[in-house]
Amino acid sequence: MSAPWPRRPRLVAGNWKMNRTAADGAALARELTALSAAGLPCAVALCPPFTALESVGAVLRGGATHLGAQNLHPESKGAFTGEVSGPMLAALGCRFVIVGHSERRHGMGEDDATVARKARAALRDGLTPIVCVGETLAEREADKTTEVLVRQVWAVYEGLGADSRRTVVAYEPVWAIGTGRVATPDQARDAHRVIRATLDRVVGDHAGEAIAILYGGSVTDKNAVALFAENEVDGALVGGASLEAASFWRICAAAR
């Protein structure tokens, strides 16, 4: 019989998207470091753009806040102009990397197979993938949320086995990304339950109870408390609100 799964952690990750230069990113990281001087209320990660990874990493080095990246290429090296590999990210001190964000699925044409390759590449290179899944508004209105979530989770986790322990899932309904709309706590809870049940089926060994599932989609310091009150929600993948130190810190505090 396999070893028991560890208790799933609370994590708040800030996805800065295509915002902040190297200097601006370092300044924001310093603000957050000052706010967290007395200690972090949960695990925290910052995911700046590639060009700011080194400067932000220098600020975070030696502290408790983790560095993360927003994407990676499935191959570890090669003739892939404009791409960044897992070993490159690890060398800069990254612990996390986001894969399958809706803006890459729907804006960059990444399909389920590509997301699965990237998740495996992250694990291969010693990174923890934050695997993003979620339905569009049309899919929700067509009552296909469960179908979409099952398909996306299954594509990444089939055959992953014990390596599943080293992943995080982020449920991000596409209709709530950058729109100001946010899933209700009930909607988030129900979607997270679907994801957990699917993890149990595809991985086994009660994986659904052990893998942290974050909520992402217009998370703010105003709605974070209600979202985190749901036992199924283990934290958040935060977009716009992570670009302002005080608001991001209040979201982290709400995850306590």
Cβ neighbours for 70, distance < 8 A, ≥ 6 positions apart:
15, 16, 17, 47, 48, 49, 50, 97, 98, 101
DSSP E strands in 63-167: the ranges are 66-69, 94-99, 128-133
57 labeled part of a ligand binding site: no
Give me the torsion for CA of 193, 199, 200, 206, rounded to 10°.
Answer: -90
3-state class percentages of the chain: helix first, strand second, coil last, to nearest 5: 45, 15, 40
Q: Is 218 annotated as a binding residue?
A: yes
Q: How remote is the C-alpha of 244 from its chain's centroid?
A: 18
62 belongs to an annotated ligand binding site: no
- Active-site residue, selected from the candidate residues 101, 135, 139, 232: 101
Residues with Cβ within 8 Å of residue 98, at least 6 apart in sequence: 13, 15, 47, 68, 69, 70, 71, 129, 130, 132, 170, 237
3-state secondary structure of 208: helix
CA distance 246 to 139: 35
Whether 239 has a binding-site annotation, put simply, is yes
Is 178 annotated to bind ligand?
yes
Q: Please give the helix or strand (H or E) that residue 198 lies within, else none.
A: helix 185-202
Paired with 43 in beta bridges are 11
Classify residue 139 by its DSSP letter.
Answer: H
Tell me if residue 172 is catalytic: yes
223 is in an annotated binding site: no
71 is in an annotated binding site: no
DSSP type of residue 174:
G
User: Annotated catalytic, 192?
Assistant: no
Query: Which of 110, 135, 172, 230 is an active site residue?
Result: 172
Specify binding-site residues: 15-17, 178, 218, 239-240
Specify binding-site residues for substrate: 15-17, 178, 218, 239-240
Residues forming the active site: 101, 172
